[in-house]
Amino acid sequence: MSRQVQQSSQAHRREAKDPDEHSRPLPWFLIMFLGAMAMWGAFYIYSTPGGTNSTWGDQRTAAALRGKPKPAPGAKIDGAPIFGAKCAACHQASGAGVPGVFPPLAGSEWVVGSPTRLVQILLHGISGEIVVKGNKYKGVMPAFATLSDAELAAVATHLRSQWGNQASEVTTAFVEEQRKSTQDRDKPWAGGAELETLP
């Protein structure tokens, strides 16, 4: 064997071996834990009652989850939830409004005064300056003509009987009459000046 080959062979023997990649198995306690969790899950699913039994949940029955039925035709509608959903964000739950931005409903001449004007405001909205309790407001109020006559009557009656307001009830028939009388109108009332032309 030549001297050069011998030196090369000795050099190779001095080199460290290349590392090998080995698989690293999961620890035995982790495997046992996962197995125990799987068995517990299977037992839990098997032992949980199904159907409409609510004793394992939040105690609601299937009937409660279906919600309240719609009121029958002619049934009295509560205007408070409608006010809460449509009006309270601007006029506040207290009816005090936001000074300089949204007018108050408590003691408002537009609420306790002419029911015609109040219903027309609800039907068509307002865009322009209006004076409420001596203060000027200039903004836009949306129309709520998509509400039924009964719903509009309920919310108008609610406004006229809350926060110290003591005005007469607004009937569904009155709202129906007001809707028909202005059915061709396709724009909001131009502030208080135009509303004052109404009876």
Q: What structural domains does the chain harbor?
A: 79-193 (1.10.760.10)
The half-sphere exposure of 40 on its side-chain side, counting CA atoms within 13 A, is 6
Would you state the structure tokens that stand for residue 135, as one six-digit string?
A: 């203060």
- Per-10-residue mean pLDDT of the chain, 199 residues long, equals 60 66 77 92 78 55 64 70 87 87 88 89 89 87 88 90 88 90 86 82
Contact 134, 155 (CB under 8 A): no
pTM: 0.61
Query: Hey, is 178 helix, strand or coil?
Result: helix
- Helix or strand (DSSP H, E) at 137: strand 135-141
